[in-house]
Structure 1
Amino acid sequence: MDRRGFLTLSTAGAATLSFGALGAPAAFAATAPKLPGEVSRLSNVLTQKGRKLYDNIEVDIGGDRARLFIPQTISMNSATGVGAVWFYHAASSSHNALNGGYKYPGELVVDQNSIAICINAGGTQYTNSIATTAQKNAWTYLKALYTVRRNFLRATSFGGSLGCYTYGKKLIPYIRGLYMVNGLYDNEWLYAYDTKNQAHVGDAYGNDLTLIKGTNPARISATPWTNSRVKVLVSDNAHPDNIVVPSRNGLALINKIKPVAADAQVMYHTLGHETPGFAHTDMIKTFAQWSV
């Protein structure tokens, strides 16, 4: 069994599958050098499940903050390619979601010898120019430091908007799939649905409907989703999600791309707009399937 983790690539480009792997031996672990724009860090953090060392680092990338979990088994500019999981937070959160609700799944990513990253723009700016620029800048930043050859997207709630737009518009390369929990897909729907603007989608676009339409993931045709891989978790009809209505968002995305996608899955839960606990391990399992 390969000990490097399922998201790690050899120089030949083959993915390794290893759910039980704990990563490289501790003798090869080393704290990441100081990163460009580094604001703060916690070094030698141990993951809860895999007991693997990583560095929890906050950086400034062109004015947008980002938090990264860097496994200490990963070296900068290594000839061996690695995977990265991009976490898209809800509108009420920030890049520090990686220290909160995303911490456990972020550490599961580290256990697979892969980088976890969460940018601040995410769900706060939806898909306006600030968010899309931050996404592109973050990729430019990450690829300059590490040999990332597989990108996986993990979105929750209103963060689904940027996750869907990043995939549909290919804002970053090497995307292997999107795993979305109760995620937003249609910005125009939200603008009309949220009449009190509690989600602040109107604020993100200056209440300019033309701008909202211009970067609405739901307006991307099915063609760019050809051979894509998407899994959405949504609450069932008996336990309605009244924040992000599935039929207009996650299920609408699946219905559009299913004829052309390589994989389009739906899994139901019973928690309304809450994230079910099983989503974290199911995310890892799904990403492993998409690594092949």
Structure 2
Amino acid sequence: MTDRAAPFPSRRTFLTGAAVAGLGAAGLLLGTPAARASSLPRLPGEISRRADQRTAAGTRYDAVQVDIAGDRAWLTIPQGLRLDEPIGVTWFYHGSGSDHSALLDGFGYESRQLVDRGVVGICQDAGGNGYAGPYAIAAQEAGWRYVSSLADVGANFLRATSGGGALAAEVLGAGLVPDVVGLYFVNAIWDVRRSYDLGGRAEIGPAYGYSTAAIDRTNPARHPASAWAGDRIRIVHTTGVDLVTPPQIHAIPFYERARQQGADVTVRTHDLGHTTPSFVGNEVPIWFTRWFRAWQTDRARG
């Protein structure tokens, strides 16, 4: 396995001083949610709830399924978290063929570790099957309006896998969600047009009405290096064969583009093909912590 860092660090300030101070005080990624348990009121569009869940570390949280403008989502919300103070939110982007329940299943280990750090998790049906098509973009925008109406969001984190990479990369490259701390990108798609042209018509086409013009309008690979200036990105890909998201089309060119002006762009490889390696579950909270602290340092110097 290799672990390379981008040689061109730069700095970009995303958070106001008040927001950074508030996040630090709230213990985002540095401590745990308040020990007291409080009843989370019914959320707008709530469909179902798994109340009073516990992580392996004993942190209590609620998992709530909601409807956001016709798109379903699961949220994991630590009990006792003050939603009127700056909080962190992780957006999970599932792969093709999956749905929003990935937050509790495939992403479950990661999301629970982030709950331990006081971070809210959300996974929408958008992404994955929708790639970065019109429906997925609209659902993402509605998701941001929904979450920001519920809480004072001071920092956002992105975690993408497989087909969900297209929407996550577009969110970061086009600035669809503010205050993004970083993107953790695993065996994921970046150049949607290349995948479509190389045989992905049946899988990708429906999300764009089989229009190459529509694909090109929101293809993350269209962005120049400057779009990733100051960004923090961790890219994980195989050194073997990945027939779903070949790294020579997605992960490697994404890394080469983003590293030119990114603040902290790294890559780690594995030999498991399109399978997510086990190290990812433990790395995600570590890298989110690293990125957030770097932002605090940047602001202090600013």
Taking structure 2 as the reference length, what is the TM-score of the superposition? Answer: 0.87
Q: Which residue of 2 aligns with 1:24?
A: 34
Q: Which residue of 1 aligns with 2:53?
A: 45
Q: How far is 1:207 from its partner?
A: 1.1
Q: Of the candidates 92, 98, 101, which is equivalent to residue 96 of structure 1? A: 101
CA contact (8 A) 1:32 1:75 kept: no
Taking structure 1 as the reference length, what is the TM-score of the superposition? Answer: 0.90
Write the mapping of 1:226-245 to structure 2, written as runs, cut at 5 A.
226-236=229-239, 239-245=240-246
Counterpart of 1:51 in 2: which secondary structure? Answer: coil
CA contact (8 A) 2:33 2:81 kept: no
Unmatched tracts of structure 1, length 5 or more: 1-8
Q: 1:107 to 1:215 in 2, by over 3 A?
A: same
Q: Partners of 2:226 and 2:134 in 1: how far apart?
A: 23
RMSD of Structure 2 on Structure 1 (CA): 1.6
CA contact (8 A) 1:54 1:71 kept: yes
CA contact (8 A) 2:29 2:288 kept: no
Considering Cα pairs closer than 8 Å and 6+ residues apart, tell me whether 1 or 2 has the greater RCO: 2
Paired residue type of 2:42? K
Unmatched tracts of structure 2, length 5 or more: 1-18, 294-302
Q: Which residue of 2 aligns with 1:207?
A: 210
Q: Which residue of 1 aligns with 2:147?
A: 142
Paired residue type of 2:259? K
Query: What are the Cα deviations for residues 96-135 of structure 1, in whole angstroms up to 9, with x where unaligned?
Result: 1112101111111101111000011111111111111111
Q: Which residue of 2 aligns with 1:272?
A: 273
State the number of aligned residues: 274
CA contact (8 A) 1:71 1:113 kept: yes
Q: How far is 1:205 from its partner?
A: 1.1
Q: How far is 1:243 from its partner?
A: 1.2
Counterpart of 2:273 in 1: which secondary structure? Answer: coil
Q: How far is 1:176 from its partner?
A: 0.6
Query: What are the Cα deviations for residues 162-202 of structure 1, in whole angstroms up to 9, with x where unaligned?
Result: 000000001010101100100100001110223562xx201
Q: Which residue of 1 aligns with 2:3?
A: none
Q: How far is 1:214 from its partner?
A: 1.1
CA contact (8 A) 1:87 1:117 kept: yes
Q: 1:17 to 1:57 in 2, by over 3 A?
A: closer
Q: Indicate the percent of aligned positions where both proteins have the same amino acid.
A: 36
Counterpart of 1:280 in 2: which secondary structure? Answer: helix
Deviating above 4 A after TM superposition, structure 1's stretches of 4 or more consecutive aligned residues are: 9-13, 15-19
